[in-house]
Structure formats: C-alpha cells, structure tokens
C-alpha cells in the first residue's frame, strides 16, 4: 500500500498518457445546485499536485454558477485502455487571476476567441450567430494578443478523498480509498 495518493495518481496518469488513445486528461466533473440537483460534464485536467486538480472554464457557465453556489465537486478519470478509474471528491476554489492569465496565454488563438464569443450554457438561436461573434472578436484583436475574458478562469478541486479503482476478472475489482486527515492521508480498501 502507498501512503501518497498524489504519487500514485502521477504514476497512473503517466501510464494513461502513454497508452490512452484520446485525451488521457479528460475527466468528468460533477457539480450540483444548492438544492442538490446534480450535473456532470467532461472537462480537461490542466494541472495537478498535492494542492489539487485544476481545470478552466467560463465562470458564468452552468458549472461555474453551480460551483459558486455550492463549492464542492467530484471528478472521475476513466482510462478504459488501462481498465482503471480515479474518483476525487472535495471542495473547490477559484484559481487566482494571474494563474488563469498564464494558462489562457497558452491556448490556441481560436480557443481564446471562442472564450470571448461564447455565452457558455446560454441558449443559442443558431450556429451562424456564434460564428459571427467569433468573427467580430477576430477583427477586434487582429494583430494583437487576445486577453483573458474576465468571466473565464480556473478552478481547483482539493481532494478530501481519492479512490483508485482497478478492473479485475469476474467483477472482483480492487478499490483503494485515500481519505485526508489532519495528519495526512489514511488508506483503506472498499468492497467491489
């Protein structure tokens, strides 16, 4: 048994990056409204370590609004080619603007333009409307860097629990649960 869930995650993530054919950094993000109505969608992991797991989005989107109202989330990595999953649950914090600025600057120009043009999660009359907004933003920032929109930025999930699931024959799976304590982490097994 390991005593550091982040070292184990690093090892599993490295294996996933080596063999997973598409987006090994893809993770399901589950949020809920203050009254407990759940919602889940895929996002991309953009940073991780002992401080937590980072992703970026439009903070005015449905997930952003839910995280603002109820700052707790669950993440799920499913690496089918490795027959493994990692589940993470914990509180969520907004990343500092400086960190969001640094990451935004690394995104492709079209992704930067899309961040300005999209009212993510809001109704859209037709695709042409969105494409026209993208073209307006392209013209606005022609020949210059595209700054980060104020409503766009990062979140960090700081885990209270991290579960490592390994597929086994006959559904006799292995489940290792790490739980944060005041002194570090405890580890135990769960029935499959």
Cα–Cα nearest to 156, from 94, 107, 104: 94
The CA-atom distances, in angstroms, between 51 and each of 5, 39, 59, 85, 156 are 12, 24, 21, 20, 8
Is 171 noted as a catalytic residue in this protein? yes
Task: Choose, from 59, 139, 171, 175, the residue flagged as catalytic.
Answer: 171
Cα separation, 12 vs 3, in Å, equals 15
Cβ of 75: how many Cβ atoms within 10 Å? 22
Q: Which residues are catalytic?
A: 171
């Amino acid at each position: 048994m390991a005593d550091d869930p982040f070292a184990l995650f690093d090892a599993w993530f490295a294996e996933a990056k080596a063999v997973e054919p598409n987006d090994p950094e893809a993770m399901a993000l589950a949020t809920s409204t203050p009254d407990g109505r759940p919602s889940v969608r895929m996002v991309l992991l953009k940073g991780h370590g002992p401080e937590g797991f980072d992703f970026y989005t439009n903070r005015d989107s449905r997930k952003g609004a839910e995280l603002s109202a109820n700052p707790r989330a669950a993440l799920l990595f499913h690496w089918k080619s490795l027959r493994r999953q990692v589940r993470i649950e914990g509180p969520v914090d907004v990343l500092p603007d400086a960190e969001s600025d640094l990451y935004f600057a690394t995104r492709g120009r079209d992704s930067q333009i899309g961040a300005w043009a999209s009212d993510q999660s809001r109704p859209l009359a037709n695709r042409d409307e969105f494409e026209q907004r993208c073209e307006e933003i392209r013209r606005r920032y022609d020949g210059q860097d595209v700054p980060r929109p104020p409503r766009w930025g990062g979140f960090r999930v700081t885990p209270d629990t991290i579960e490592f699931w390994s597929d086994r024959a006959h559904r006799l799976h292995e489940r290792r649960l790490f739980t944060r304590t005041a002194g570090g982490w405890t580890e135990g097994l769960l029935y499959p």
